[in-house]
Amino acid sequence: MTTSTLQHVRFAGMTSCVPKRIVSNLTDCRPQIRSERQRLVRNIGIETRRMAPKWQCFSDLAFEATEKLLESLDWKREEVDAIIVMTQSPDYLIPATAIILQDRLGLSNATIAFDVNLGCSAYPFGLHLLGCMIAAGGVKKGLLLVGDRSATLDDPIFSDAGTATALEFSENAAPMYFDLNSDGSGHKAIILPVGGHREPVDIQHLIPFRKDENDHWRTGIDLQLDGPAVLSFSTQRVPPAVEKLLTYACASKEDIDYFIFHQANRMINETIRKKLGLPVEKVPSTLQEFGNTSGASLPVTMTVRINKALEAAPKRLLLSGFGIGLSWGTALVDIDGAIFPDLIES
Amino acid sequence: MSHQQFIDNFLSATDFQEPVEVTMDTVLADLPEWDSLAALATIVMFDMEYSKTITGEDLHKIRTLNELYELAGSPA
């Protein structure tokens, strides 16, 4: 798609929920690697993360966020026309988590409900997808639930969260602008290669292996990440995409109150910020405390860092998600009179 | 750019925990902390300091710091 505009879509509110359990990158690791962890933490910028217990799914976090959101908005259950779940941590491969949540949340059978398989880049894509349904006139009130459950003790970057965003039809809403892109040639950069139909799980995938005694055990069913490829993709693709959307929307960087980027890691995020020449105050970050919450990292950053500012007065935001696929999306959104309850810890 | 400036930039970017003596003939693989983090930091350094995009593949082929310097186009 080319850069696009959506009319009559109002951002009504947002909530974010994280697990209570805090994991420290500096101390929750093997004693032998504590020294090198200091260097790692300095460079990726992540000191603590949130990790769900074994029984807690992304959908549980999203459920808590949505309950709070509906209550805060004073929306009736039957008023919700659509619920879209964007996650790579579904309850089951089949059926969609969104339909299970439709029932669990007590939404009516007239609710449109489906899942979208998208991770770190998800948020701008989700706003556009739900926004299109609303702009077209068929959906008056909709919910977008974004997040993942991918934290482990061994990987120092990922963190868990579930978020809920409410959009609604409004004749007077300011336009939303979008620029959304995909590059499947890079799909192997972030991949869980085993478990789908291309390569079903078999016994050999479950045999643990490690490179040396200080490494942690891995299996074939683990996520694989090509660090250099993701770094180059993010730092080469994101800055020009931001510039492009600003030009399209006839906005300057000075017109934007906050730039909210996917919270990847400090190396990536600082490179992007510097390339765009953005002041630190305009680029809030939750990396240090919450790490990389995948698609949820934009909502989590808005909830944790600027929710009071967003409630207090109208604000213009530039939102940027990037990663899995590879895909990258940028959105320019005006927030006016929306609600932003404090972070929920569950 | 002088070799010393390049070495300084490299050491600053890679942020090794333990001080290490580096010359242009140093073999990267011999550096105790030459790891994936150092490789990522080097990619960022090339991008920000020399406006050059390199890949993990490029780094994999490099043996010495001098070859790294040449990969940067022997920056003036």
Q: How far apart (Å, rounded) are the C-alpha atoms in residues A76 and B67?
A: 65
| Whole-number Cα distances in Å, A117 to A64, A97, A136, B20 | 21, 11, 23, 45
Q: In angstroms, how far is the first alpha carbon of chain A from the final one?
A: 38
Closest partner residue to B48 among A36, A39, A274, by Cβ? Answer: A274
So what's the pLDDT on residue A126? 98
- The percent of residues above 70 in pLDDT, for chain A, comes to 100
So what's the pLDDT on residue B76? 66
**How much is the mean pLDDT over chain A?**
96
- The percent of residues above 90 in pLDDT, for chain B, comes to 76
The one-character DSSP state at A80 is: -
So what's the pLDDT on residue B1? 74
Q: How many CB atoms neighbour CB B2 within 10 A?
A: 8
Residue of A32, A36, A38, A39 to mutate for B, most B C-beta atoms under 10 A: A39
So what's the pLDDT on residue B7? 95
So what's the pLDDT on residue A137? 92
In chain B, residues with a C-beta closer than 8 Å to the C-beta of A228 are 39-40, 43, 55-56, 59
Beta strand A344-345 pairing with A9-18:
parallel
Q: Does the pLDDT at position A228 exceed 80?
A: yes
Q: How far apart (Å, rounded) are the C-alpha atoms in residues A53 and A59?
A: 13
Asked if A231 has any chain B CB less than 8 Å from its own CB, the reply is yes
pLDDT-based confidence at residue A211 (cuts at 50, 70, 90):
confident
Distance to chain B for A16, nearest Cα, Å: 31
Q: How far apart (Å, rounded) are the C-alpha atoms in residues A280 and A322?
A: 20
Distance to chain A for B38, nearest Cα, Å: 10
Contact B16 A274 (CB under 8 A): no
Domain with B58, as residue range(s), is 3-16+24-72
Q: How far apart (Å, rounded) are the C-alpha atoms in residues A241 and A328?
A: 8
Lookup: tokens for A38: 């200091």
CATH number, residue B8? 1.10.1200
Asked if A232 has any chain B CB less than 8 Å from its own CB, the reply is yes
pLDDT 10s digits, A77-117? 999 999 999 999 999 999 999 999 999 999 999 999 999 99
pLDDT 10s digits, A54-63? 999 999 999 9
Lookup: tokens for A98: 């969104």
In this predicted complex, what is the ipTM? Answer: 0.90
Distance to chain B for A240, nearest Cα, Å: 15
User: Domains in chain B: how many in total?
Assistant: 1
So what's the pLDDT on residue B17? 87
pLDDT 10s digits, A288-340? 999 999 999 999 999 999 999 999 999 999 999 999 999 999 999 999 999 99
So what's the pLDDT on residue A33? 84
So what's the pLDDT on residue A274? 97
Q: How far apart (Å, rounded) are the C-alpha atoms in residues A78 and A76?
A: 5
| A133-167 residues labelled b (16+ CB within 10 A) or e (exposed) | bbbeeebebbbbbbbbbbbeeebbbbbbbbbbbbb
Q: Does the pLDDT at position A212 exceed 90?
A: no
Q: How far apart (Å, rounded) are the C-alpha atoms in residues A152 and A147?
A: 15
Q: How far apart (Å, rounded) are the C-alpha atoms in residues B33 and A161?
A: 33
So what's the pLDDT on residue B73? 85
Q: Does the pLDDT at position A278 exceed 80?
A: yes
Residue of A25, A188, A232, A265 to mutate for B, most B C-beta atoms under 10 A: A232
pLDDT-based confidence at residue A1 (cuts at 50, 70, 90):
low
Q: How far apart (Å, rounded) are the C-alpha atoms in residues A288 and A337?
A: 29
